[in-house]
Amino acid sequence: MENNKTTTQMTMEQIKEDLKDIRFFYSRKEQFEVDFKTVPNPTLMEKVRRYSDAVDGIPAFHYQLYTLLYVKNLTQDNAAR
pLDDT digits (tens, 9 = 90+) for 36-80: 999 999 999 999 999 999 999 999 999 999 999 999 999 999 998
For residues 2-14, give the mean pLDDT: 77
pLDDT recorded at residue 72? 95
State how far the Cα of 51 lies from the Cα of 37, in Å rounded to an integer: 22
pLDDT above 90 for 1: no
Burial class from Cβ neighbours inside 10 Å (0-12, 13-18, 19+) for residue 40 reads exposed
Is the model's pTM score more than 0.85? Answer: no
In this prediction, residue 8 has a pLDDT band, given cuts at 50, 70 and 90, of confident
70 touches 22 (CB < 8 A): yes
